Chain A
């Protein structure tokens, strides 16, 4: 009988061990080897030393940090605004809007890539055509370093804002109404109620979404892969892209593993910092 609980968790543990634990452990071993396709020689920390002197690694890290610093707060801000709107008694057709904003989340990578490719195409893309109606000159969405970054940010925002808004909304609906009533009685206007009741109430999910978005951004791969290929001139090269290129373009699995471990360390540090600042003080 004592065995029963273990038997119940066994399938999950077995799957975790095969598909997560084993690759995680093995990629650490790999990161200590100089690999060249199927050829491997033990190299100690050589791959990590190489990281420190690799200009492309630092470019990728800078790009990733830039996206994180600019895009994550922007997206979460929009998501909070959306959640408040979704929760407002003034909004009609709630289900329609909620679904509409959440749908991008379930859009497959390929469809998503093709969609944005068509929309942002510099020659005759829909977005440029539309902006052209208002006399806006053609925007080199994917072929200029700054605009390519903006395009990736737009795609990310489109993809994930609704998802975060739904998380916030769930929390908002769980907030007791009496807090708002009490605030109203004390003479607090809408803005004060948002600032002193809504935001503190969102704190636990705020932490969740900030940590999730940070991890997601640090691992960012899909959007630059389908939209820009990391270009132009590495302007949208992220750590995830660089890792992929080293592993699957250049067959350098050892170095790719070292990048993965560097990434894991960065994520861990940021996660700890975020818990310190946003986590429950008690």
Chain B
């Protein structure tokens, strides 16, 4: 990880300079340049479920404007797509799609471990979109003057809850300020309704079982790694985050999502838990899963970890990259540009699947300022937009995120299943990552 880049980043984050750049007048929609219109060839686009479906819907409009380009959008599935991209990159780009949808948790590893695996988009004209995206985004996709992807979605930490259940329990969720207060509220909720507060995949049957832990660290402007790539997993912020999870579990407020995603969806259908502490994109999933519960759900930003602490954090983002070995880079870039830099397309995707754009000009659309009937008439789009406008902590996922994530989920499993001490398991995890990666543990 380039140290200078991150120092730069943190300065940006602190000053919020980019915020004024894109929040103010709204960036001009940029037309696809001459590189785009002249583009020809057959391109394959790799993505997963929801986003893949939305891109498929955009293909006819794209082909109308770029008749020389034939687009095949493929739903590779998530997490299968990461293995496939890795294998393809390791094979020197063999068999990869031309456009790849990549999450922020994998992007640094692909950029750093496979130089030239992803194409530099600057020669294709990416720089003109620099100011169009939410703050911190451009830094996330670029490295040493090269730009490896265009930002798509920017997800803020969220807190979806069953307002009807909390009402029955006599808890005013909006008034809850910290996670400690939320634990009290959860105990009351369970006493009155028998429903548990939230669910975690305790045995870590899926890789993303530590979402809540991660968000709790990010709410404290901390992560597994600091900006210089040192390991900060067992920092006080990490121990505080895991202690909250332990307290929740010890109070009997955590349902077990053994099996991961399927179990979580099943639990939403059964009304098994009252809260989904999930980011922006998850609102669409809830709406799709239980359409009949319209008006029963509400959304807010998560409680702060400490009194007066932050309630907003951009927890992750996804991006479209062009494969370095693609024979039709211009066509591939034109498609990514078409999907990601035109507000009308981002608005259509938001309306379809609730995927929140990083493209700030999209937020001028009324779709983000409407009352949502499903979420009890709240203006859901504005709640998350406000979060997106806050000075954001830029998370250094680093190229060793997959290793760190494994160590983290194992540590969490020890706490949840065996009642282990958070500080002890995090120290053990930090040492393990250090041994595997040669990174320094900052203590």
Binding site for B on A (CB under 8 A): 36-39, 50, 53-56, 117, 121-123, 140, 142-145, 148, 228-229, 231-234, 245, 248-251, 253
Contact = CB atoms under 8 A, between A and B. Distances in A.
Given A37-B109, A229-B206, A251-B109, 14 more contacts: A37-B89, A39-B115, A123-B263, A231-B204, A231-B409, A231-B410, A232-B417, A233-B413, A233-B417, A234-B410, A245-B406, A248-B86, A250-B400, A250-B402
B259 interface: yes
B207 to A, nearest CB: 8
Nearest to B258: A143
B113 A251 contact: yes
10 contacts: A37-B113, A54-B436, A140-B203, A140-B258, A148-B203, A232-B202, A233-B203, A233-B417, A249-B83, A251-B86
B112 A37 contact: yes
A38 B114 contact: yes
Contacts of A251: 86, 90, 109, 113-114
Interface residues of B, number: 36
Nearest to B204: A231
B417 A39 contact: no
B117 interface: yes
B439 to A, nearest CB: 12
B417 A123 contact: no
Nearest to A228: B205
Contacts of B256: 122, 143
B353 to A, nearest CB: 26
A123 B417 CA distance: 17
Given A122-B258, A123-B259, A232 B400 contact: no
B86 A38 contact: no
B432 interface: yes
B402 A232 contact: no
A233 B410 contact: yes
Contacts of B414: 233
Interface of B: 83, 86-87, 89-90, 109, 112-115, 117, 202-207, 256, 258-259, 263, 266, 399-400, 402-403, 406, 409-410, 413-414, 417-418, 432, 435-436
Given A140-B258, A143-B258, A250-B402, A38 B113 contact: yes
B203 A232 contact: yes
A209 B202 CA distance: 38
Q: Which 8 A-B pairs have the closest CB atoms?
A: A37-B113, A232-B203, A143-B203, A143-B258, A233-B413, A122-B258, A38-B114, A251-B113
A54 B406 CA distance: 15
B432 A38 contact: no
A143 B403 contact: no
Contacts of A55: 432, 435
Contacts of B259: 117, 121-123, 142
Contacts of B417: 143-145, 232-233
A145 B204 CA distance: 12
A87 B37 CA distance: 74
B435 A144 contact: no
Contacts of A229: 204-207
A143 B205 contact: yes
A144 to B, nearest CB: 7
A183 to B, nearest CB: 52
Contacts of A122: 256, 258-259
A233 B206 CA distance: 12
A16 B435 CA distance: 37
Nearest to B400: A250
A145 B413 CA distance: 10
Nearest to A117: B259
Contacts of B83: 248-249
A54 B403 CA distance: 13
B205 A231 contact: yes
Nearest to A50: B435
Contacts of A232: 202-205, 413, 417
Contacts of A123: 258-259, 263, 266
A39 B87 contact: no
Contacts of A39: 113, 115
A195 B113 CA distance: 59
Contacts of A245: 406
B343 to A, nearest CB: 36
Contact of B114 (A37, A142, A248, A249): A37
B109 A143 contact: no
Nearest to B263: A123
Contacts of A54: 435-436
A56 B87 CA distance: 23
B205 A142 contact: yes
Contact of A37 (B90, B207, B435): B90
B258 A142 contact: yes
A248 B79 CA distance: 13
Contacts of B86: 248-249, 251
A55 B434 CA distance: 12
A282 to B, nearest CB: 49
Contacts of A50: 435
B349 to A, nearest CB: 29
A37 B112 CA distance: 8
Nearest to B266: A123
B205 A36 contact: no
Contacts of A248: 83, 86-87, 90
Contact of B203 (A56, A117, A231, A250): A231
Contacts of B203: 140, 142-144, 148, 231-233
B258 A250 contact: no
B405 to A, nearest CB: 9
Contacts of B258: 122-123, 140, 142-143
Contacts of A117: 259
Contact of B117 (A36, A38, A143, A144): A38
A263 B406 CA distance: 23
A38 B88 CA distance: 12
A142 B205 CA distance: 8
A38 B202 contact: no
Contacts of B406: 245, 249
Given A36-B113, A38-B117, A123-B259, A143 B202 contact: yes
A37 B89 CA distance: 9
Contacts of A38: 89-90, 113-115, 117
Contacts of B113: 36-39, 251
A250 B89 contact: no
Nearest to A53: B435
